[in-house]
Amino acid sequence: MKKDKFRIVDESGDKKYFTIIPNYILNHSTLWDREVYIQMKRIAGEGGTCWASRKTLAIQCGMSERRLDKSLRYLTEHKWIERIGKKEVITKGGIQEVNEYKISDLWNTNNSFYQEKNKGVAQETIPKQQRGSTDEVKGVAHGAYKEELREEEPIISNAGALRVNPRGNYMKERKDISKKEIVSHYSNGENKCALCGFADLDYLEIDHLDKSGSKHRKENNLSGGVATYRWLIRNNYPQGFRVLCRKCNNNQSSVAGLKVNDFLDLFKELNPSYERIFSNKTQRSALERLISKYGEEKVKGMIQFAVTIKNEQYAPTITTPYELEKKLGQLIMFYNKQKSKKSMVVKI
């Protein structure tokens, strides 16, 4: 008699929110590799693919992108995951390509490994003289606990620096969220440096416009960046702050950099895109040469005079330090013509 075959499909949805990991993975990898595998399988689900960006996956795993690359290489070499190509994803920065991975089916490998040499044997089938043996560990398949982990590097190495603990990951996530809110507010949603336009969130910082950062932190007992972010949020985003990249912020800490930046600010009335000249070496060099040759007071007077005549007929067009240096002769001639007509307050 021919037997009828039935295929039972579970559509209850009870297995939606958990991930099953083979013991073979847990016993043959470091904590870094396990974490990457677990997160990738969680994202892919059963039969799906993982196409999270390196940055997103590294944050999710609580490790650096460099450490993530090592684990991805290890998992790929052991064929626990398989890179199947590229995938286009839509991000805030536009369409980007990321690697797409498939999680390999390791259940046959897992089962055959633990069935060999009585590993994974049911408790009732183990001879009585083995029960209660000091070699056994409760809750672990017989002999499984004896497997040695991969020794590519110490498992606990640099754990503190990378914050591989639940609270550390939570605090880092909270810091990132607070920083995004602050940077977005003080950059009018542009999330970039006010001087050079650099837009990598990891390298953006909050700058005090009145250069009183040290005094402000001391008066309010603020230990660092995270504490400052919280203070800004608690005080409803007060004025007097802007977003700078680390390079521009460091330049302002030096006397030379501070002087040049102050003079570049004077071009705001001459050039709607004046922020771009802060990171332009040609423009900064031209301004430094002018200051070195004519002195700060005269150069300041030149820029202020250029502002007063920007709408005058036949006036030289000056919007950058390089144009000021190049057209300085024309500016002086125009000044002399204007001086003959009326008394000028500005000195050149």
Contact 296, 259 (CB under 8 A): yes
Whether residue 154 is contained in a domain is answered as no
User: In the prediction, which pLDDT does 4 show?
Assistant: 60
The confidence score (pLDDT) of residue 29 equals 86
Same-domain pairing of 74 and 178: no
Residues 110 and 121 in one domain: yes
Helices 65-77 & 54-61, crossing angle to 10 degrees?
100
Residue that is last in its domain, among 184, 219, 252: 252
The confidence score (pLDDT) of residue 178 equals 73
CA dihedral sign of residues 184, 186, 188, 191: negative
Residue 259 domain boundaries: 255-341
Residue 4 lies in a domain: no
Residue 56 resides in a domain: yes
Gap between the Cα atoms of 100 and 43, Å rounded: 11
* Domain annotation covers residue 283: yes
Determine, yes or no, domain membership for 3.
Answer: no
Tell me which of 87, 117, 146 is where a domain ends. Answer: 146
Helix axes 255-265, 281-294, angle to 10 degrees: 100
Look at residue 174 in the predicted model and tell me its pLDDT.
55
pLDDT given at position 347 = 56
Residue 97 located in a structural domain: yes
| Predicted pLDDT of residue 165 | 45
Mean pLDDT by 10 residues, the chain (348 residues): 58 69 87 90 82 85 88 91 85 77 87 68 47 45 44 40 44 63 88 84 84 82 79 87 80 56 85 80 86 88 91 90 92 86 57
pLDDT at site 321? 92
Contact 263, 252 (CB under 8 A): no
Q: What is the pLDDT of residue 316?
A: 92
Residue 112 in domain? yes
Look up residue 37 and give its two tokens: 């595998």
Examine the domain organization and report whether 113 and 172 are in the same domain. no
Count up the domains in the chain and report the number. 3
Spatial separation of the C-alpha atoms in residues 1 and 4, rounded to whole Å: 9
- 117 belongs to a structural domain: yes
3-state helix, strand, coil in the chain (%, to 5): 50, 10, 40
Q: Based on the fold, state whether residues 200 and 279 are members of the same structural domain.
A: no
Same domain? 138 vs 34: yes
